[in-house]
Each structure stands twice: as C-alpha cells, then as structure tokens.
Amino acid sequence: MSGVGSPVSAGRYRLTEKEIGAFLARARGLGHDPVRLLAGEVTETLTSVPTVEQARQLSNAAAAERRARQAVFFHPAIAIRSRIGQGVHDRCEACVFADGTVEDADLLRLARHFPFPARLLSVLCRHVAAGEVWDLTVEGRVLGVDERDDVLNVVNVGELVIEPGGRVIVQGNLLILGCQLLRHPAPAREAGDYQLGVLATPHSVDRRTGPLHGRAGAAGGDGVPGRAGIRPAGVPTMIGFALSEPPGDRMNGTGGSGGRLAGGGEPGRTGGAAKTAEITIGRLAGPLTLVASGGRGGDGGDGGDGGAGGDGGDPAPGFRTTAGPVRPGRPGRGGRGGDAGSGGRGGNGGISSNVFVTLPARMAGQLRVMTYPALGGTGGAGGRPGRGGKSGMSPGGPAVSAADGGAGAPGKPGRAGVRRPAPEVFVNGKPFAGRTTSPRASARHSAALACPKAPTPATAPCRRASTCTTRPS
C-alpha cells in the first residue's frame, strides 16, 4: 500500500472544488472510480490503446494548444530524421500530442505497434518527500512488450506536492501528465537541482544487446618459443668428438613465432532515448525546475594488448671434433610482438523528442527549464603492443635482438560518439527562452542524470502506486 493517499486521509488538501471536479472528470474519462479516489486510493490500469485516434483522445491539449504545438513540432532536430523509422513515430506523436495527421503508409508501418501498451494512473493527492523520487516510469515487461518498445504513460494527479530535494521523473515513456495543483515550497538550491525530470530510458534502444559500455578486446596470445639447437650425434674420444653425422642446421636455434593480434574493443551502445512528454499544470504554487535530456552514449571498450613474440631458441655450443673445432650454431630470432587491438568507438548520444508544458501564462515565470544535449560516449583506449621476442643466447654471449623481433603496433584509440541535440521544450506552444544547453554543463551533470534516484540532500526508496490495479485481458 503506497503512502500516496496519506495526505488525503489525514486532512484537507489545498485543491479548490473546481480543481477537484476537473480531476474527477479526467479520472472518469480514464475509467477510474471517483469514490475510491476521494477515499484516498490510487487507481492504476494497465491496458492497450487500439488506434492512434484513441491515443490522441488521452492528451489534455485543447484545440488551440494543439495547433500551436503543430507549428513548432518539426523543428530541425526532429525534421532531420523524417526519412528513417523514427520519423514514422514522430508523425504519429504529432497526431497524438499536437495537430498532425498520419498518412496510410505510416499507419501500415505502425500497425505492429498497435494496440499500443498504456498505463493509466489517477491519484487525488501525492506528496513527494525530501530525498524521495517518484518514478512514473513503466517498464515494457510490465505490459508484456520489449524494453525498446514505446509505452504510453498517462498520469492524472489532483494535488502534487514536491518537497525540496524531492523529484518526479519519467525515463523514456511517452508521458501525459496532468496536475490540477503543483506545489513546490522552495526554490532550487543549485544548478543541478530539479523537481521534474523528463529523462532517457535507462537502457539503450538500439538493435544490439548487452551492456551500454563496450567490452574490452581480448589480449593476443603469446608466440611460441623457438627450439634450441641440437648437438649432432657422435662418440667422444681422446682427441675430440667423433661425429657420426655432419653438424648441419640442427645446431641453430629456431626463431620464435610472432605474438597474436589482439581483439578490438567493442563499440559503446547508443544512449537512451528521451521521449515526447506533455505536462499540464492547472495551478503552480512556488518555483519549479524542469530538466530534460537524452542519454549519454556508452563508452567504447579498450583494445586488447598484443601478444608477446616468442623468444628465439638458443644455439648448440661449439665443440672440438677429431677433424677440428666446430663453431656454435646461430641463435634463433625472436618473434615479432603482436599488434594491439584498437579501442571501440563511443556510442552516440540518445535521441530526444519534444517536451510540451502547459500552465497559466501568469505562472510561466515561475518555471525554469534546463535541457542538456546527449553526449557521445568516450572512445576506448588502444591496446599496448606486444613486446618482441628475444633472440637466442649464444654460449658466453648476450642475447641479440633479431631484426624481426620488434614490438607490435599499438592499437588506435576509438572515436568518440556523436553528441545529439538537447530536447526542445515548449511552454504554452512556444519555445522556452533561456534554457541551458552547454556541452560543459552536460558533462558536469551527465552522471547525476544517469542516476536520477539519488537526489540531494539524501536518498529514499521510490514509492510507486500499485493499489486498485486492473490488468490487461
């Protein structure tokens, strides 16, 4: 049982009768029981939406707001992807959140996504305590879909109170959040502090599998040492060794084999995607900071180290025979060191979609928006070259480096991933002025945004509503 309803049962909230009526009307439209909501229960429905038009009806936007959004929806960062698969999703979302239409060709390509998975949530009053994160995110597995599939997340709140240090976030769902009254009693204390976060999926949405960061390349195997020279067969006599066969090349040490090539580091995966969000606030009491950002790309894996070259074999020593002295054999040459693996390429930053905020014009000055570009991952470091093998050692003499026993080539560093643009935030249908998008700021806050459940000054478990739940049939 969540603590969401506690303020309702404990005493009078600050909603007006008109705001309560608007909340309950919205709840009825979502199929939620007003009596149970007034009693402090939380109602959640896991369902599916059959058509684009029915998804459109779940938006809170009025006709004029839709037209204003449509005029700015396909700005350059969105328009540039119109020819790829994401463009189909963008045009569908323009129909749902703005005033777009979907052509038949797009409907055919979207058919496999429908009926569209959705979560509908209503709560009369939600208090987010200091250090708490209310994570609205619904994982795809809860609705029986792949984690890369979109989920429509519709949240209806009467009164939302966010204490200093508390946060409300969504990570990669298509969000429709309606709130009659949002209260935040204190200003943000530092640049990285925020109360609402439209963040990226906590995982990559590219077609690969595995971790976000690339794995390191395998080290190259070492070369095999050369064989030592062999003294020919014979019989010792008083005046020297009587050979039964000529000395030959067997007295020479053989060369060591070369070290093996190392594996390259895996590329990092594309960062998580920040999806389209609609946030409608009927009344805002106090200042509010909204953060929006795509996910940082994964780092490329480091290249593996090259294998060491095998050492050359020692020669057989010289000796005296009945026919005269025999010189020592020649030492074997050391094998060349293996080439190192190159570092993996950093993953590209995740794509971002539009964020639409609607609130009374007189309260727009209380809103601060901070958006960050999605940084590309760092390329992996190149591996270290394998050392060359040492030549065999002549009796009484030092080892001699063979001409082909040098070190292998060092690995090349991987390229950094591509930085993707920050989300565009529109307030009452117009681009929000004064947002922060500097790459330096993105680098400073990327770690914090990657771990949104660690707000300052303290952390607390995320409480998620789960009472009065209906499941899809």
Domain membership flag for residue 309: no
Distance CA 67, CA 315 (A): 88
Distance CA 191, CA 316 (A): 74
Domain membership flag for residue 223: no
Q: Which of 181-190, 272-281, 378-387, 451-460 has the lowest mean pLDDT?
A: 451-460
pLDDT attached to residue 415: 96
Range of the domain at 164: 6-207+271-299+350-380+421-470
Domain membership flag for residue 370: yes
Domain membership flag for residue 105: yes
Distance CA 471, CA 37 (A): 18
What pTM does this model have? 0.79
Cis status, amide bond into 457, omega within 30 of 0: yes
Per-residue pLDDT, averaged over 449-462, amounts to 44
- Average pLDDT value for the chain: 84
Domain membership flag for residue 265: no
pLDDT attached to residue 321: 81
Domain membership flag for residue 329: no
Dihedral sign for Cα 144, 147, 152, 157, please: positive
Count structural domains, the chain: 1
Phi, psi for residue 129 in degrees, rounded to 5? -75, 165
Q: Which of 6-15, 387-396, 420-429 has the lowest mean pLDDT?
A: 6-15
Q: Which of 5-14, 151-160, 403-412 has the lowest mean pLDDT?
A: 5-14
For 247-266, the pLDDT digits (tens) are 888 889 899 999 999 999 99
CA angle 151, 205, 431 (to 5 degrees): 70
Distances (CA, A) of 217 to 297, 298, 304, 384: 19, 16, 4, 11
The answer to whether the beta carbons of residues 342 and 261 sit under 8 Å apart is: no
Domain membership flag for residue 138: yes
Maximum CA pair distance of the chain? 123
Domain membership flag for residue 389: no
